[in-house]
Amino acid sequence: MYSQHQSGQFMQEQDLLKTILADLRRTSREYTTATTEASCPMIRSMFNDLTNDTLRLQGEMFNLMQQNNMYSVSAKAPRQDLDKQIQSAHQAQQKCQQFIQEKNVQRSPYNQNPNVSQHQPNYGNPYYM
């Protein structure tokens, strides 16, 4: 049996909510990973929906905790730093898109190497989606 605090609760409310908030963060990361690794469009869509629902719930929980002074936010980042991060992310995205376009142009049914095996489902792999 669980030992109870003097207030009769298993955990203090703030500690319990922080634990739930941390679990929601972890869950959203796991769903995001599953979304990016899913090869089936229906499974990908399902994990995308679960990710969005979990992020919405995490945001609601965060707002509730912040309103009740149970969670303090960190100092605001300077706009200049945010702009640098956004610019860097856009550059990385553009490089990735350019790379994909280059590879798609290079690929054609006539220049594929017949000795290179195409991706085969790996049903024996426990990490395969």
Domain count, the chain: 2
Question: For residues 4 and 10, is the Cβ–Cβ distance under 8 A?
Answer: yes
Hey, what are 105's tokens? 């142009």
Do 23 and 10 contact (CB within 8 A), yes or no?
Answer: no
pTM: 0.55
pLDDT tens profile 8-22: 566 688 888 889 999
Q: Is 123 part of a structural domain of the chain?
A: no
Cα 52 from Cα 23, distance rounded (Å): 15
Q: In terms of domains, do 12 and 31 share one? A: yes
| CA dist., res. 26 & res. 82, Å (int) | 24
Residue 61 domain-assigned (yes or no)? yes
Is the same domain home to 60 and 83? Answer: no
pLDDT tens profile 38-90: 999 999 999 999 999 999 999 999 999 989 888 777 778 888 888 898 999 99
69 and 13 both lie in a single domain: yes
The CB density around residue 70, as the number of other CB atoms within 10 Å, is 16
